[in-house]
A and B are shown apart, each in its own frame.
Chain A
């Protein structure tokens, strides 16, 4: 195939972006060899869960928000319960807190593995999809399926069921497992930890574009642990705030071509949330095994190449297996499955680390515990501007690539973020147009 001549003016259109969660599109216009315009378009109307929550009781928020996303229901539940507990002045500690981390481990494992094996790896190996890849790499794909199953098993055990788990409540759980119930998971997780280590090694062999940017990374940071549920919101540019200060520092704006709001960090614009931001701001909190695997895979303590996010997801999967085993080994069944919550008026905020990055919730309650208003900022909404900037940089440096290769690389550039547009809104279609 001949390389494309740098045409004086072209618009790149790709009518369909597969392998992202939801529906949406990308539009890129190039003239005189320069990228003039990049738009991440979202077609479906925004989701109405914030309005849906108004008038409901605080106890209903975990189950309602769990239905926002079939891929990361635990993240929505966790941000909801922490925000409600902040509003009610409740702290959940000890084994109940540990069980929440274990539940989050399950979600990271199943979500990261789905993305690594089924959605992202085909890009690197030159396949149109995981089905074609499975014909040549059946054992690799089967390993992915088995790993994902273990993530789902953790969610099914702690969440009550795999899909839209229902066992989580404000204050803890409706029912907690016995040590005996957790024991079979430990056996599966030992296999999973080895398989996750293999996954890190395998992803490290994939071919990467040479593409690095000096991102503003934003993630939670906790003094004692790699972040799931709690921590301060920090950046590599000196941001260090609580979730109560989130809306003073981050703003959301409408853009005319998209139905989803774009988030910016006041004073510095686009910012990056998700596995690469978490990793780069919390490398020292990874388990020794995960740190060692990262170094062996050739990563430093900071990763700025979004095409290597597939390795970072594998490292986080390894960490999640390691952490899940640690929690299960130290588990003592608590006396009560939850702490008591008494309704009162107030406002509560929380950020937790969804597989795709920071997930912010804010609720205002009246004295009976009824929700007066709610605000939810999902990670994909926060990454939209960074995705557009990546596309601008990538197309600029790769303008001479043959058209079909440039198009598929642009799609891969979007998939680097594992965008879950069904949370930000509902999105799937990617368009690139050349004139």
Chain B
């Protein structure tokens, strides 16, 4: 039986690099992948738990605060290890992605597989365009997710 797969793109479209997760989600949505649902989120951690209800495999993409290397890509297996809260503390919601994931862990509500892709950003000012480094990373993350989904959903 096919795994039920959800791709969640997190971000704010009006804050430069913060839109990275949404950009990846839209890129993947344009490819009409079978058995993959796409969800866009502003980073409301509490809502993530209901968003992934019923899915076996969840891949979430979010921007990360600047940490010296804009466009750098991080991949975390969130079922195997807690998400470092400071890496994903970018949301204006203090109950954000990291908190939502840890709450799900505490309640036994994590999906079977939860992979997080983080893209380090540089520019988060309201109304600013996305930085060139993050724009470049979006294609890389999209390709990495496609490869990963092929592995996870192939029989």
Contacts and interface: CB of A to CB of B under 8 A. Distances in A.
B44 A70 contact: yes
A19 B95 contact: yes
B74 interface: no
For this complex, into which size category does the number of interface residues on chain A fall? 35 or more
A129 B42 contact: no
A69 B106 CA distance: 28
Contacts of A32: none
Interface in A208-266: none
A71 B93 contact: yes
Contacts of A21: 92-94
Interface string B67-109: 0000000000000000000000000111100010011011100
A21 B95 CA distance: 8
12 contacts: A19-B94, A22-B94, A47-B126, A70-B44, A71-B93, A118-B95, A119-B95, A134-B107, A135-B106, A142-B107, A149-B47, A149-B50
A131 B13 contact: no
A48 B106 CA distance: 39
A23 B92 CA distance: 8
Given A52-B127, A67-B13, A134-B106, A164 B95 contact: no
A18 B45 CA distance: 14
Given A71-B93, A428-B94, A138 B107 contact: yes
A229 B135 CA distance: 41
A114 B46 contact: yes
Contacts of A69: 92
Given A118-B46, A149-B50, A163-B42, A422 B103 contact: no
B107 A148 contact: no
B101 to A, nearest CB: 9
Contacts of A428: 94
A368 B126 CA distance: 27
Contact of B12 (A18, A70, A149): A70
Nearest to A48: B126
A353 interface: no
A74 interface: no
Nearest to A113: B46
A71 B92 CA distance: 9
A426 B95 contact: no
Interface of A: 18-23, 47-49, 52, 67, 69-71, 114, 118-119, 129-132, 134-135, 138, 141-142, 144-145, 148-149, 152, 162-164, 422, 426, 428
Contacts of B12: 67, 70
B107 A70 contact: no
Contact of B95 (A22, A48, A130, A135): A130
A328 to B, nearest CB: 21
Given A20-B94, A48-B126, A131-B102, 6 more contacts: A22-B94, A67-B14, A130-B99, A130-B103, A149-B47, A426-B92
Nearest to A136: B106
A48 B46 contact: no
Given A114-B46, A131-B106, A70 B93 contact: yes
Contacts of A422: 92
Nearest to A420: B92
B46 A145 contact: yes
A419 to B, nearest CB: 11
Contact of A145 (B14, B49, B94): B49
A354 to B, nearest CB: 15
A129 B99 CA distance: 9
A163 B102 contact: no
B41 A145 contact: no
Nearest to B49: A145
B43 interface: yes
B43 A152 contact: no
B123 interface: no
Contacts of B56: none
Nearest to A142: B107
A49 B49 CA distance: 31
B40 interface: yes
Contacts of B99: 118, 129-131
Contacts of B43: 70
B106 A163 contact: no
Contacts of A149: 47, 50
Contacts of B44: 70-71, 114, 163
A19 B46 CA distance: 13
